[in-house]
């Protein structure tokens, strides 16, 4: 939430709600506030619930478990003078029940770790600011399960708070039949956007494949119909766009299209409404003209692994106070600081299913907590002999060497390897040990 939206919501509060809010942020209990204002405790709770609803922390179905702490966090960011820091530091909940890891995480969750862009700015803040600029183009690159979808969702949520229209489209949802033909794919793409904007589908009125071609027809539909029908900017979040890399003809045309739309914002005012957020897992390994590629424009965002300090922060949220820095570093090294794998480890330790020693000892085996994840990678690799051969080459070289570029990109997209200058190496001990036991080194 940006400062402007925060102030707008604050101005909408009634005088009574503001008085209750200030006392709450100062550290007074519901009972204390009720006694001072000669009200029932239920009235005070109702006031606070309405305040949290206005700030988007409570939905219409009921209260969120941690909504009050989240309200405090909002005011720490935007109006810290109202917050009694000493009180809330002492009364922050030690534990909030965590969900099983694997799904996108809300930025309001205590288990979401913000990524630093520089010493003074988080990536989330940077992206939320940049997407408000005319013709914005944000490129988010990271291996699988690193938090790309969570970041896309955060950007879209912040844009909605500013009154923008938002759409998220996962290109993994495009079926094989759709991806066999450029015209089919672009019409599928336009149909999805139209439906999510709740507009009448009018593709037949604008599409002229024979005389104009699919790309011009698609552009015309966007420019003359979709963008003209909306009165606010549209933020389009495209997730898993590297799915198209396997379909070179489709990819070349679609990526050229995205680049041209971004550039049209400099020429036509209507295209300034469109803001693009593109998330992908690997480097582009299809041939693209440098002047047609969308992967060398806009704001590049690279999600990195968690640092020890970030793992310490997560461990605190999981209530794992008994783990010292040495133990947390052992876990971080085992999984390379991978956010999902760290979360999975901390979740099992939080549930007291096993000790850290047991977790680390069994981690690269089929009886460990990462067995489903590892078997999933193995199944994905089993149909690609060139990737298995690349892993054997890597193992025979001791875990670091130079391999062919496209297999390297694909293995990086799966998170198995990472680049180190012109060579690749296993991204963590977990993968090195697991694949060594199955593929073996000669």
Determine which of 87-96, 265-274, 423-432 has the lowest per-residue pLDDT on average.
87-96
Give me the pLDDT at residue 319, please.
Answer: 87
- Between strands 234-239 and 165-170, the pairing is parallel
Q: How far apart are CA 375 and CA 241, in angstroms?
A: 24
Query: Is the per-residue pLDDT at 70 higher than 80?
Result: no
Q: What is the DSSP letter of 238?
A: E
In degrees and rounded to multiples of 5, residue 248 shows phi and psi of -60, -45
- CB neighbours of 201 closer than 8 A, spacing ≥ 6? 191, 194, 195
Determine which of 119-128, 136-145, 248-257, 407-416 has the lowest per-residue pLDDT on average.
119-128
The pTM assigned to this predicted structure is 0.76
pLDDT per residue over 206-236, tens digit each?
Answer: 998 888 899 999 999 999 999 999 999 999 9
Confidence of residue 59 (pLDDT cuts 50, 70, 90): very low
Q: CA-based Rg of the chain, rounded to a whole angstrom?
A: 25
Give me the pLDDT at residue 60, please.
Answer: 41
Query: Is the per-residue pLDDT at 286 higher than 90?
Result: no
Give me the pLDDT at residue 46, please.
Answer: 84
Query: Is the per-residue pLDDT at 287 higher than 80?
Result: no
CA-based torsion, 370, 371, 376, 381: positive or negative? positive
Give me the pLDDT at residue 157, please.
Answer: 87
Query: Is the per-residue pLDDT at 440 higher than 90?
Result: no
Domains and CATH numbers, the chain: 3-91 (1.10.10), 116-302 (3.40.50.300), 372-439 (1.10.10.10)
Q: Is 90 left (phi over 0), alpha (psi -120 to 50) or beta?
A: alpha
Determine which of 104-108, 113-117, 365-369 has the lowest per-residue pLDDT on average.
104-108
Give me the pLDDT at residue 170, please.
Answer: 94
Give me the pLDDT at residue 47, please.
Answer: 85
Give me the pLDDT at residue 66, please.
Answer: 52
pLDDT per residue over 322-346, tens digit each?
Answer: 899 999 999 999 999 999 999 999 9
Percent with pLDDT over 70 in the chain:
94
pLDDT per residue over 43-58, tens digit each?
Answer: 888 888 888 888 877 5
User: Between vectors from CA 25 to CA 23 and to CA 31, what angle results, nearest 5°?
Assistant: 50
Q: Is 286 helix (H, G, I), strand (E, B) or coil?
A: coil
Query: Is the per-residue pLDDT at 100 higher than 90?
Result: no
Determine which of 48-52, 151-155, 355-359, 438-442 has the lowest per-residue pLDDT on average.
438-442
Give me the pLDDT at residue 58, please.
Answer: 57
Q: How far is CA 8 from CA 11, 12, 22, 54, 330, in A?
A: 5, 7, 17, 10, 46
pLDDT per residue over 141-194, tens digit each?
Answer: 998 899 999 999 999 988 888 889 999 999 999 999 999 999 999 999 999 999
Give me the pLDDT at residue 321, please.
Answer: 83
Give me the pLDDT at residue 61, please.
Answer: 39
Q: What is the DSSP letter of 62?
A: B
Closest CA to 238 of 177, 189, 273: 189
Confidence of residue 305 (pLDDT cuts 50, 70, 90): very high
Q: What is the DSSP letter of 305?
A: P
Determine which of 83-87, 171-175, 265-269 has the lowest per-residue pLDDT on average.
83-87
pLDDT per residue over 376-425, tens digit each?
Answer: 999 989 888 999 999 999 999 999 999 998 999 999 989 999 998 889 99
For the chain, the average pLDDT equals 88
How many helices (H) and strands (E) in the chain? 21, 10
Query: Is the per-residue pLDDT at 115 higher than 80?
Result: yes
Give exposure, 167-181, as e/b (b: 16+ Cβ within 10 Å): ebbbbeebeeebbee
Q: How far apart are CA 392 and CA 404, in angstroms?
A: 13
Under a CB-based contact definition with an 8 Å cutoff, are residues 166 and 160 in contact?
yes
Give me the pLDDT at residue 89, please.
Answer: 62
Query: Is the per-residue pLDDT at 93 higher than 60?
Result: no
Closest CA to 225 of 259, 193, 184: 193
- CB neighbours of 172 closer than 8 A, spacing ≥ 6? 239, 240, 243
Q: How far apart are the first and last CA of the chain?
A: 55
């Amino acid at each position: 939430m940006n400062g402007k939206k925060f102030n707008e919501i604050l101005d909408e509060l009634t005088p009574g709600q503001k008085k209750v809010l200030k006392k709450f942020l100062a550290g007074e209990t519901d009972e204390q506030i009720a006694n001072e204002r000669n009200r029932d405790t239920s009235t005070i709770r109702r006031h606070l619930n309405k305040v949290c609803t206005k700030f988007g922390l409570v939905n219409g179905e009921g209260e969120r478990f941690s909504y009050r702490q989240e309200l405090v966090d909002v005011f720490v960011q935007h109006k810290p003078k109202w917050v009694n820091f000493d009180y809330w530091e002492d009364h922050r909940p030690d534990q909030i029940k965590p969900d099983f890891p694997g799904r996108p995480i809300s930025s309001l969750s205590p288990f979401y770790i913000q990524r630093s862009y520089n010493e003074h700015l988080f990536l989330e803040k940077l992206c939320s600011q940049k997407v408000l600029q005319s013709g914005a183009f944000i490129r988010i690159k990271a291996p699988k399960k690193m938090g790309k979808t969570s970041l896309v969702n955060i950007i879209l949520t912040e844009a909605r708070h500013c009154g923008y229209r938002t759409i998220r489209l996962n290109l993994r949802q495009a079926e094989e039949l759709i991806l066999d033909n450029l015209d089919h794919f672009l019409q599928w793409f336009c149909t999805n956007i139209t439906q999510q904007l709740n507009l009448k589908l009018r593709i037949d009125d604008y599409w002229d494949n024979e005389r104009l071609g699919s790309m011009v027809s698609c552009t015309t539909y966007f420019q003359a119909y979709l963008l003209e029908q909306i009165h606010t900017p549209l933020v389009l979040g495209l997730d898993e766009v590297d799915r198209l890399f396997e379909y070179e003809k489709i990819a070349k045309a679609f990526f050229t299209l995205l680049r041209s739309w971004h550039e049209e914002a400099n020429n036509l005012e209507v295209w300034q409404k469109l803001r693009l957020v593109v998330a992908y897992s690997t480097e582009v390994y299809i041939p693209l003209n440098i002047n047609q590629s969308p992967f060398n424009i806009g704001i590049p965002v690279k999600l990195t692994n968690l640092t020890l300090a970030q793992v310490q922060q997560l461990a605190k949220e999981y209530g794992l106070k008994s783990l010292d820095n040495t133990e947390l570093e052992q876990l971080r090294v085992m999984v390379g600081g991978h956010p999902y794998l760290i979360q999975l480890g901390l979740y099992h330790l939080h549930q007291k299913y096993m000790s850290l020693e047991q977790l680390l000892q069994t981690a690269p085996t089929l009886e460990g907590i990462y067995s489903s994840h590892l078997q999933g990678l193995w199944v994905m690799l089993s149909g690609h002999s060139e990737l298995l051969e690349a892993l054997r080459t890597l193992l025979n070289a001791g875990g670091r060497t130079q391999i062919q570029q496209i297999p390297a990109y694909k293995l990086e997209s799966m998170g198995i390897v990472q680049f180190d200058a012109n060579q690749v190496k296993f991204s963590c001990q977990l993968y090195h040990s697991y694949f060594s036991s199955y593929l073996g080194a000669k």
